[in-house]
């Protein structure tokens, strides 16, 4: 997605060869116009798949997931990282390890919001090692729901998550695919082959 690539080039900060910071439009401050365009693009990609629910992970997945949900006119559910006081015990849980933060935590979704009648589109902000996606897939499986695919805002192709998921036949659509963050520069995949 051209507008997203331009925004990453303009405002993304390369923190290391492994990590890109996009706090100014996705992970802290949020650009609603860009989010709307992303929602339209995810909806275009998955419109024919009969999606009934979008599943994401708090907090950074919520903005793009909500915009896609608005376009597809389906509810958006976000997995929680902390169990609130009001949460019933009737939940699906999965474990997610973050290589970026070197933390492991449980994610929680209420059984009331995901059932075996759902066709689920998972959306997340980044795809790196695929651990967040795996946790969400685990929850879709526990619910007995169907997985339509995974929509990612920024995939880092030099980390193994995308390949691992696609090699299992899972449809993964990424709006921007980064080939490399070497030398403080963002190179997109299609540029590498241009
Ligand atoms: P994975 O589970 O695929 O290894 O990593 C995905 C999660 O880690 C994303 O939800 C995101 O929060 C975080 N993440 C991974 N790589 C990056 C990165 O380069 N920049 C930012 N801002 N977050 C990242």
For 96-120, the pLDDT digits (tens) are 998 878 899 999 999 999 999 999 9
* Parallel/antiparallel/unpaired status of strands 13-14 and 20-21: antiparallel
Instruction: Enter the pTM of the model.
Output: 0.96
Chunked in runs of 10, what are the mean pLDDT values of the chain (194 residues)?
Answer: 97 97 98 98 98 97 98 98 79 92 93 98 98 98 98 98 98 98 95 48
Please give the Cα distance from 57 to 62 (Å, whole number): 7
Nearest to 95 by CA among 135, 43, 150, 41: 135
Tallying the residues shown for the chain, one arrives at: 194
Ligand 1 centroid to Cα of residue 79, in Å, is 15
56 lines ligand 1 (CB under 6 A): no
Ligand 1 centroid to Cα of residue 139, in Å, is 19
The conformation of residue 23, written as its DSSP 8-state character, comes to I
* Structural domain boundaries in the chain: 2-191
Q: Give me the interface pTM, i.e. the ipTM.
A: 0.98
Q: Which of 29, 126, 127, 160 to mutate to test the pocket of ligand 1 (most atoms within 8 A of CB)?
A: 126
> At the top level of CATH, which class does the domain 2-191 belong to?
alpha beta
The answer to whether 79 and 109 are in contact (CB under 8 A) is yes
The conformation of residue 99, written as its DSSP 8-state character, comes to T
């Amino acid at each position: 997605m051209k507008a997203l690539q331009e925004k990453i080039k303009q405002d993304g900060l390369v923190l290391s060869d492994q990590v890109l910071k996009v706090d100014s439009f996705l992970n802290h401050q949020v650009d609603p116009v860009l989010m709307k365009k992303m929602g339209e693009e995810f909806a275009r990609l998955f419109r024919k798949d009969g999606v009934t629910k979008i599943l994401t992970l708090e907090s950074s997945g919520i903005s793009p997931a909500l915009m896609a949900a608005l376009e597809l006119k389906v509810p958006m559910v976000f997995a929680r990282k902390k169990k609130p006081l009001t949460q019933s015990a009737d939940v699906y849980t999965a474990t997610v390890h973050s290589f970026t933060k070197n933390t492991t935590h449980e994610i929680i979704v209420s059984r009331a919001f995901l059932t075996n009648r759902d066709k689920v589109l998972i959306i997340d902000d980044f795809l790196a090692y695929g651990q967040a996606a795996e946790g969400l897939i685990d929850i879709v499986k526990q619910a007995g729901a169907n997985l339509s695919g995974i929509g990612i805002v920024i995939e880092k192709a030099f980390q193994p998550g995308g390949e691992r998921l696609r090699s299992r036949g899972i449809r993964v659509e990424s709006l921007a695919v980064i080939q490399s963050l070497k030398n403080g520069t963002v190179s997109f995949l299609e540029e590498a082959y241009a």
